[in-house]
Amino acid sequence: MTTLSKVSRREFLAGAALTGAALTLGCSFEAEADRVGATALAPNAFLAIDSDGRVLVTVNKTEMGQGARTGLPMLVAEELDADWSKVVVETASFDPSKYGFQGTGGSGSIRGAWEPLRRTGATARAMLVEAAARRWNVAAADCRTENGFVIHPSDAAKKLSYGELVADAAALPIPDATAVKLKDPKDFKLIGRRVARYDNPAIVTGKAVYGMDIRLPGMRFATMVHPPTFGGKAKQADDRDAKAVPGVEKVFVTDRGVAVVATNTWAAFEGAKKLRVAWDEGPHGELSSAAIRAMFAEKAKSPGDVARNDGDFDAAFATAAKKLEAEYEVPYLHHATLEPQNCTARVTADSCEIWAPTQFPNFVMDEARRITGLDAARIKIHITLLGGGFGRRIEADYAADAVEVAKRLDGVPVQVTWTREEDMRHGWYRPASLHIVKGGLSADGRLAALLHRLVAPSIRGQRQPDGGKGVDPGAMAGIATTQYDAPNFRAEYVRANTGVPIGFWRAVFDSQNGFVQESWMDELAQAAKADPVEFRRKLLGKSPRLKTVLEVAAKAADWGKPLPKGRARGVAAHFSFGAFCAQVAEVSVADDLPLVHRVVCAMDVGTVVNPSQVEAQIEGSIVFALSAALYGAITVEKGRVVQSNFNDYPLLRATEMPKVEIHLIKSAEAPSGAGEPALPPTAPAVCNALFALTGKRIRKLPIALD
């Protein structure tokens, strides 16, 4: 199998031989749709079928491990009745006029493509059928399609491959995509099947091209030393020792720090270590985690802006038979994509070309325009594979570095790679937060009053000069959108911006709000002397889908059945990104350290396009959540991030991997998101299990049992 994806559309249509050299070049990401020849059928920018019957699908979402380059083409191929082995995938270069919105995030790739890409496939299919019908002089309605062929059922001789029909079909008018008939889901052949990842052959042979793998003739390798403090600036750099490192060619100060340019990355890294930089520490040189915590605590004393208000919390709480209050907190977290931030660029007086591992090429474009002063028409952005995204690569700071450096190199291409340490200390962190929760129970143990006050910085506000005002709906995700039917419920948001750069992280605010809400539900259930599953079930009358996954997970995990001594179960459920998810975790403790043995997950994501991918996303979300719950914390001292590498920011290891069992609910609904919604329930399920085992309630992450 070869990585046809690296072949330009022009080469593809010319049927160019795929040589090993072409495969490993890694820099021909061209989507030259404008050069589509007359023999290709291309109803829009996302699909082209050539006379060899090959089906080129152009994907407008970044592949970052979520399977966009498999799942999106599956949608086209399903309605086209294509032969999957003839599908060739390319990632679109940045061109919103042709490809629409190219940002990737929010568990939205399949959700957004579900309708349009199926219609794309159906449109091409209708044209191929029409072409065959005309040739055979039969009614189109009497023809059917199968695995890349149009067939006339009553005559075995009437069978034509798509390739043979392309020329005729391309000459037909393109039907209205909104009017073409889509399949009845019961006729799906590909959707719902375990289709292996398109890029597997390239990945397992080391040929997959990530940002750091771009190689261009004459290119240089560079690294950046960024200001150690948030908002700092380099005043000047003494580069004598750096320049003495063999291979180091240039050192210069940019707006974003100090760049070291060399003939290889290692020389750039060595040179960077030898720089002596005078920094202007900027406004946050004294910032610390303790000060941030104190500011949150002060702000938590006053009520916030009301994001949701059902009934009358104050009155109901005042008269409740039993009252509970607690404070929860979570730290800043880093994405720690395994591929550190990097980007490659070439800038001349009148052109700029960028090879970016980015989730949001539109932000890369903004940075490139700002730095070069060129028009968008003169800036070309290629999107590589990503060695992990998780929201980190929504930002475009690494691209700004590459363009800044390339601008000073007169047309010589340069790849800027951050060291792991730079990556760890110059992130856009998952916001830290403090939560005040209150609950009132009636004499018969019903939930009578509920308050959730979130004190946290606003990601959107960070981009506004005044920090923003009022409720940040993004920050209230999972709180204001709770599925529990609490009669007197108030959700409040207290804006608490800090100097720490914050950004989108896998499940962002749902990750923390879900942790708090589901831990608090457990506390309330315990106070009501109720079974945690039963307590939740009773509150889910208005959310049958969340109730179902809760029941399925509980049953599959043998909820209520005895466990060996030293083991306990905990449960949590959460709705986010359109999906419903419940998990039961099974834990034990050894030497004050939690061990997670098993996680049973039931999830309703609507229609499952590719079970292998949905399950992979669930497994990945659970691991991501466990790394955070057990170890994750970014702390700040003197305006600097303390952590530097995987020694002080550990990730879960193979030896700590629980057995993950997944139950997907059969559904005819449109697909929801799948990349994030399995993350929020994991930490509370584990913490609730630890409470069941030890009697100690975990109200602060990461988990500390001693």
Query: How far is Cα 12 from Cα 441, in angstroms, rounded to an integer?
Result: 67
CB of 405 vs ligand FES, minimal distance in Å: 23
Identity of the residue numbered 630: L
Q: Which of the listed partners (another protein, ligand FES, none) does 336 bind, with a CB threshold of 5 to 8 Å by partner kind?
A: another protein
CB 272 within 8 A of CB 410: no
CB of 358 vs ligand FES, minimal distance in Å: 16
Among 136, 188, 210, 252, binds another protein (CB under 8 A): 210
Applying CB under 8 A, the site for another protein has a residue count of: 65
CB-CB neighbours of 183 under 10 Å: 16
* Window contacting another protein (CB under 8 A); options: 259-267, 400-408, 470-478, 581-589: 259-267
Would you give the DSSP letter of residue 216? -
Q: Which x/- pattern, by CB under 8 A, does the window 652-681 give for another protein? A: xxxx-x-xx---------------------
With respect to another protein, which residue has the nearer C-beta, 213 or 522? 213
Interactions with another protein, residue window 263-302 (CB under 8 A): 263-266, 269
Residue that has been written with the tokens 């060695």 in this structure: 387
Interactions with another protein, residue window 310-369 (CB under 8 A): 336-340
Residue that has been written with the tokens 């475009």 in this structure: 396
Among 388, 413, 532, 671, binds ligand FES (CB under 6 A): 388
With respect to ligand FES, which residue has the nearer C-beta, 211 or 514? 211
* Window contacting another protein (CB under 8 A); options: 27-35, 383-391, 524-532, 554-562: 383-391
With respect to another protein, which residue has the nearer C-beta, 196 or 318? 196
CB of 368 vs ligand FES, minimal distance in Å: 27
Interactions with ligand FES, residue window 150-169 (CB under 6 A): none
Q: What are phi and psi of 456, to 5 degrees?
A: -160, 155
Q: Which x/- pattern, by CB under 6 A, does the window 5-24 give for ligand FES? A: --------------------
Among 391, 594, 620, 680, binds another protein (CB under 8 A): 620
Interactions with another protein, residue window 384-443 (CB under 8 A): 385-390, 417, 419-420
Helix (H) or strand (E) holding 147: none
Angle separating helix axes 611-630 and 682-694, nearest 10 degrees: 50
Q: Which of the listed partners (another protein, ligand FES, none) does 115 bind, with a CB threshold of 5 to 8 Å by partner kind?
A: none
CB-CB neighbours of 616 under 10 Å: 18
* Window contacting another protein (CB under 8 A); options: 359-367, 434-442, 618-626, 633-641: 618-626
CA of residue 543 relative to chain centroid, distance: 26
With respect to ligand FES, which residue has the nearer C-beta, 400 or 652? 652
Among 19, 85, 200, 236, binds another protein (CB under 8 A): 200
| Of 239, 292, 702, residue with least CA distance to 515 | 702
With respect to ligand FES, which residue has the nearer C-beta, 205 or 236? 205
* Window contacting another protein (CB under 8 A); options: 210-218, 496-504, 575-583, 698-706: 210-218
* Window contacting another protein (CB under 8 A); options: 152-160, 212-220, 514-522, 687-695: 212-220
DSSP string, 319-383: T-SEEEEEEEEE-BB----SS-SEEEEEEETTEEEEEE--S-HHHHHHHHHHHH---GGGEEEEE
Q: Which residues contact 61 (CB under 8 A, 6 or more apart)?
A: 68, 72, 102, 104, 109, 113
Interactions with another protein, residue window 9-28 (CB under 8 A): 26
Tokens representing 47 are 């699909």
CB 699 within 8 A of CB 637: no
Q: Which x/- pattern, by CB under 8 A, does the window 46-85 give for another protein? A: -----------------xxxxx------------------
Query: How far is Cα 117 from Cα 69, in angstroms, rounded to an integer?
Result: 13
3-state secondary structure 592-644: CEEEEEEEEEEEECCCCCCHHHHHHHHHHHHHHHHHHHHCCCECEECCEECCC
CB of 66 vs another protein, minimal distance in Å: 7
CB 302 within 8 A of CB 453: no
DSSP string, 236-298: EEE-HHHHTSTTEEEEEEETTEEEEEESSHHHHHHHHHT-EEEEE-GGGTT--HHHHHHHHHH
Q: Which x/- pattern, by CB under 6 A, does the window 340-379 give for ligand FES? A: ----------------------------------------
Residue 246 near another protein by CB under 8 A: yes
Q: Strand 659-664 relative to strand 640-641: parallel, antiparallel, unpaired?
A: unpaired
CB 413 within 8 A of CB 219: yes
Cα 688 to Cα 298, 316, 521, distances in angstroms: 28, 27, 10
Cα 601 to Cα 66, 556, 585, 597, distances in angstroms: 18, 9, 9, 13
Q: Which residues contact 502 (CB under 8 A, 6 or more apart)?
A: 332, 428, 429, 430, 431, 457, 459, 462
Query: How far is Cα 497 from Cα 491, in angstroms, rounded to an integer?
Result: 19
Residue 65 near ligand FES by CB under 6 A: yes
Query: How far is Cα 33 from Cα 595, in angstroms, rounded to an integer?
Result: 53
With respect to ligand FES, which residue has the nearer C-beta, 398 or 515? 398
CB of 338 vs ligand FES, minimal distance in Å: 4
CB of 684 vs another protein, minimal distance in Å: 18
CB of 646 vs another protein, minimal distance in Å: 4
Q: Which x/- pattern, by CB under 6 A, does the window 328-347 give for ligand FES? A: ----------x---------
- Residues that bind another protein in the complex, under the rule CB under 8 A: 1, 26, 63-67, 194, 196-197, 199-201, 203-210, 212-213, 215, 221, 246-247, 263-266, 269, 336-340, 385-390, 417, 419-420, 612, 616, 619-624, 645-647, 651-655, 657, 659-660
In the complex, which residues of this chain contact ligand FES (CB under 6 A)? Answer: 65, 338, 388
